[in-house]
Structure 1
Amino acid sequence: MTTNGHNHPTAGLNPEHAPRMQPWAELAPDVYKAMVRLDAASRKGLDPVVAELVKIRASQLNHCAFCLDMHTKDALAAGETIERIVQLNAWEESQHFYTPKEIAAIELTEAVTVLTDGFVPDEVWEKAAKHFDETELAHLVAAITTINAWNRFAVTTRMVPGHYKPGDLKH
């Protein structure tokens, strides 16, 4: 019996889908490099735990399997717990797993990510502003915006999840 690299049998599983194109980073290297610089700049001064929670939550909302694979693995490698990662999709009913500051960041992530539901509500912004100073808040908004852009590149080009190892890519 073959395994998928995680000691799980692969017999009977659906085959991987193919990406729509060769890696877009190779086709548009200047865009990719600019995104990497934007990502690094957006994280400056931002708590790395908050940054990973934001990346995972936005990727859940955007159904970005590639980014979920990457950022859950990076978060685990950085010491995040499986329990907090698993509960993130249902954070409203499991707020006791997170700090008030993390909840404020998660709520802001949802509001910025799902703009089709309307504007970012004042109460969400005000809650975040209580937990983040203006510089941190500016970086938080930049980090949320950046992961949303990464999600859109990955989802649109159908990047294949499952092969990422922590440290392979940094964005």
Structure 2
Amino acid sequence: MTTAHAHGPRMNLWKHAPDVYKGMAAFEAAASKGLDPVLAELVKIRASQLNKCAFCLDMHFSDARGLGVSQLRLDLLDAWEEAPGLYTDKEQAALALTEAITRLDGGTPQGHYVPDEVYERAAEHFDEAELAHLIAQIVSINAWNRFQVATRAVPESLKGDGPR
């Protein structure tokens, strides 16, 4: 049974498709190998911001705080290009790639590609294996976002007593 309530979950997809969850979890684990955990969380948060996934934002803000990421870096992540010195060159390259892969509009009428300059910027900071894992990490969080948004997953922080 599904629910159409605008502010509640529609379904527990993982209950009805546990094999999909297992596959996604395996993909996520493989994608994150060799990536700096802080950088991976920044990427997950940025993609989740673009995709408006409250469930994933709640989870990854918490995970990032657990890794010691400052509140200022989290607060300004949505405007990372306007926060000079707050993110490393490597993080900025990863965030630019995250935005390009998540949006896939290319900024031109032809669209649907990651611009060469964005890819090349990332390639300056990541070796090929790291870059492959970074791309996989970005694809993974986009998939998680889409599952959670489609099913209207309720953020853990909002379960129980309501907003805090």
TM-score, normalisation: structure 2:
0.87
Alpha-carbon distance in structure 2 between the residues aligned to 1:47 and 1:54: 11
Q: Distance in 2 between matches of 1:61 and 1:127?
A: 21
Shift of 1:162: 4.1
2: CA distance between counterparts of 1:116 and 1:69?
Answer: 27
- Equivalenced residues, count: 149
Alignment check: 8 A CA contact 1:95 1:103 kept = no
Pair 1:31-2:20 in alignment: yes
1:134 to 128, 135, 159: 128
Q: How does 1:152-171 map to 2 (within 5 A)?
A: 152-163=146-157
Which residue identity is paired with 2:137?
A: A
Alignment of 1:12-161 (within 5 A): 17-21=7-11, 23-117=12-106, 118=111, 119-161=113-155
RMSD value, Cα: 1.5
Q: Deviations over 1:96-149 (max 9, x none)?
A: 100000000000000000013421000000000000000000000000000000
Alpha-carbon distance between aligned partners in 1 of 2:35 and 2:9, rounded to the nearest angstrom: 32
Structure 1 residue identity aligned to 2:50: L
Query: What is the SS of the residue equivalent to 2:26?
Result: helix
**In the TM superposition, what is the alpha-carbon distance from 1:161 to its structure 2 partner?**
1.5
Give the share of equivalent positions with the same residue, in percent: 62
Mark the runs of 5 or more structure 1 residues left unpaired by the alignment.
1-15, 165-171
The 3-state SS of whatever aligns with 2:52 is coil
Deviation at 1:95, TM superposition (A): 3.1
Question: Equivalent residue of 2:121, what SS?
Answer: helix
Distance 1:116 1:128 in 2: 18
Letter in 2 for 1:102: E
Shift of 1:18: 1.1
Superposition deviation, residue 31 in structure 1: 0.4
Find runs of 4+ consecutive structure 1 residues off by over 6 angstroms.
Answer: none
Query: In 1, Cα distance between the equivalents of 2:84 and 2:122?
Result: 15
2 CA distance for matches of 1:79 and 1:135? 26
- Any idea what SS the aligned residue of 1:95 has? coil
- Deviation track 1:13-47 (CA, whole Å, cap 9, x = no partner) reads xxx921011x2111100000000000000000111
Gapped regions of structure 2 (runs ≥ 5): 1-5, 159-164
